[in-house]
Amino acid sequence: MGTIIIYTTVAVAFFVMIARYDIHMFQLSSYRYNRYSRWLVPGNIVSKYRVLALLMLVPALFPNYLGVGFATGVTIGAWIYSLGEKFKTPLVYTMRVKRLFATNIILFAAITALSLLFAGKWAPVIIGAELLLSNFIMLLANMVNTPIEKAINRHYYNDAKRIIESHKGLIVIGVTGSFGKTSTKNYLASVLAEKYNVLVTPGNFNTLLGVIRTIREHLRPYHQVFIVEMGAKQKNDIKEICDLVHPTIGIVTAVGEMHLETFKSVENIQDTKFELINSLPADGLGVINIDSEYIKNYNGITSRCRITKYAVEGEGDYKAKDVVYGAGGVSFTLGNEQYSSRLLGAGNLLNILASIAVADHLGVPANKQKNAIARLQPVEHRLSMKVANGITVLDDAYNSNPQGAKMSLEVLKNFAVGEGNKRIVITPGFVEMGARQAAANMELGRTIAVSCDYAIIVNAVNREAIKSGIEEGCMPAEKYFLADSLNHAHRQLAQILRPGDVVLYENDLPDNFK
């Protein structure tokens, strides 16, 4: 009996560690069953934790003191491994995560207690099986918690609705798009701050719950403008946010082939992004980027609001002219005004134009706009630039779409380097693109082949598709490398990197993609 108790104690300790890992992957999957189920495939589910859980069945089948010692060793090994494991996006201990963790432990404890009471000699086997199937215990815990989470979210929604409805005169601006929305949100906030007291949704708080949290925790009576970034993974996601905040100004930065696994078609993405414009009142303002093909050809606008178009390549109400790019940023003319910014790339120029259009509408003087634009800083991980030890790093790690990547590679291609220096890209390609994923990554490979001198493909998920595109683009085999992880990529990079080189980090996959 003492042996079983020791084994059970060790198993509980191990379960706490593996449950944390399972919940982390579930959080990275946005708590969505369909996204998490795609992670539950042999290539991902056979993690080191799962292998160690399988080993725990050995002492369960041979319940003796040697077996308990083996189980203890496995648990200590898992604990040491967990201490050293590095995640790009750490687990965020929200209240939902804490509740899920608690329910997970309670379910494990209940099954364990029942097996000890009624399963006799098979109890260790059942406990070992729990460790091996911990994913499904976590999903069961989430099902148990779902009614509670819905009730809590409903309370938070009603509270946020009460707060924003009591804030008379607040100007609400929605910003959405397949890419460019975070940068546009931040640039617009900087320009409008020249005249108004502005609140923006922080970081990646671009879901309904993120907007609710921003309203409840940050919106104050002295705020005059509330800029709301609106993200979407499926139809009606943006409409839900609009129904809460009721924007009078909306910006659609771009429409592209993002999240096709959930949207199923580009037409659904178009309809969803334009839920923002179609929610605007007749006296509102819609600001749209007509350099984006799927915005330019969209004919589903039902709102009677005024539409303002902006462009760099096409013809719009706000069109940048005399554009000059350089290592120090960009300069351009708009109407009779000359603007300059330290930001890089056509994408950032489009984001600036959207900000100017809204600032004009809200009466911010042109001289104050120009001063704010000259001071703009790149948004971290969105084509931001750093120079260290003679190496220029272009960080575009959060740009996970084909159009944005093409713009960033164009910047890399035209970036001035000294004789003998290299332009290098590190990328894992794109995910969550459904049937279009392979073709999009092949096209990325073809663009890479004509844009840089060296390429490092990270992770296995898109390796063959990108490699095929690179080979079609006739990049020599010795100029591209395959890496199993970002650390592996960095070791390969160190072998070719020299002062004066430029490195572009294009996109970064979350930890639940390998």
Domains and their CATH numbers in the chain: 2-148 (no CATH), 167-375 (3.40.1190.10), 384-506 (3.90.190.20)
Residue 65 has pLDDT above 50, yes or no: no
Query: Taking a C-beta distance cutoff of 8 angstroms, is the pair 169, 223 a contact?
Result: no
Non-local (6+) Cβ contacts of 207 within 8 A are 231, 237, 241
DSSP 437: H
Residue 121 has pLDDT above 80, yes or no: no
Non-local (6+) Cβ contacts of 1 within 8 A are none
Please state, in angstroms and rounded to a whole number, the distance separating the CA atoms of residues 400 and 502: 20
How much is the pLDDT for 440?
A: 86
Q: Which residue blocks in 166-228 are alpha helix, DSSP H?
A: 181-192, 208-218
pLDDT in tens, 392-443: 888 887 766 788 888 889 888 888 888 889 999 999 888 877 778 888 889 9
Residue 59 pLDDT grade (very low, low, confident, very high; cuts 50, 70, 90)? low
| Inter-axis angle of helices 345-361 and 366-375, nearest 10 | 150
Greater model confidence, 329 or 282: 282
pLDDT in tens, 167-219: 999 999 999 998 889 999 999 999 999 999 999 999 878 999 999 999 999 99
Residue 243 has pLDDT above 90, yes or no: yes
pLDDT in tens, 127-145: 888 888 888 999 999 999 9
Task: State whether residue 485 is helix, strand or coil.
Answer: coil
How much is the pLDDT for 196?
A: 98
Greater model confidence, 461 or 496: 496
Q: Tokens at residue 290, please?
A: 């007509």
How much is the pLDDT for 123?
A: 82
Distances (CA, A) of 433 to 247, 295, 449, 487: 30, 19, 22, 25
Task: State whether residue 142 is helix, strand or coil.
Answer: helix
Q: Which residue blocks in 297-365 are alpha helix, DSSP H?
A: 345-361
**Selection from 289, 331, 332, 293 nearest residue 311 by Cα:** 289
Residue 464 has pLDDT above 80, yes or no: yes
The pTM (predicted TM-score) of the whole model is 0.81
**β-bridge mates for residue 388, sequence order:** 391
Task: State whether residue 463 is helix, strand or coil.
Answer: helix
Question: Rounded to 5 degrees, what are φ and ψ at 156?
Answer: -65, -40
**Selection from 260, 293, 255 nearest residue 437 by Cα:** 260
Greater model confidence, 461 or 341: 341
**Selection from 298, 163, 177 nearest residue 219 by Cα:** 163
DSSP 25: H
The CA R_g of the chain, rounded to the nearest whole Å, is 26
Query: Taking a C-beta distance cutoff of 8 angstroms, is the pair 129, 57 a contact?
Result: yes
Residue 63 pLDDT grade (very low, low, confident, very high; cuts 50, 70, 90)? low
pLDDT averaged over the chain? 86
How much is the pLDDT for 64?
A: 57
Terminal CA-to-CA distance of the chain, rounded, Å? Answer: 42
Q: What is the mean pLDDT of residues 269-274?
A: 95
The dihedral formed by the CA atoms of 457, 462, 463 and 467, expressed in degrees to the nearest 10: -90
Please state, in angstroms and rounded to a whole number, the distance separating the CA atoms of residues 436 and 446: 16
Q: Tokens at residue 488, please?
A: 């592996």
How much is the pLDDT for 293?
A: 92
- Rounded to 5°, angle at Cα 288 from 284 and 290: 150
Question: Rounded to 5 degrees, what are φ and ψ at 51?
Answer: -65, -40
Q: What is the mean pLDDT of residues 361-388?
A: 88
Please state, in angstroms and rounded to a whole number, the distance separating the CA atoms of residues 303 and 316: 19
Q: What is the mean pLDDT of residues 50-60?
A: 65
How much is the pLDDT for 92?
A: 87
Query: Taking a C-beta distance cutoff of 8 angstroms, is the pair 80, 17 a contact?
Result: no
Question: Rounded to 5 degrees, what are φ and ψ at 223?
Answer: -70, 135
Residue 326 has pLDDT above 60, yes or no: yes
Q: Report which secondary-structure segment, H or E, holds 113.
A: helix 95-118
Greater model confidence, 14 or 2: 14
**Selection from 370, 296, 302, 313 nearest residue 339 by Cα:** 370
**Selection from 123, 120, 132, 108 nearest residue 55 by Cα:** 132
How much is the pLDDT for 144?
A: 96
Query: Taking a C-beta distance cutoff of 8 angstroms, is the pair 205, 211 a contact?
Result: yes
Residue 66 pLDDT grade (very low, low, confident, very high; cuts 50, 70, 90)? very low
How much is the pLDDT for 181?
A: 92
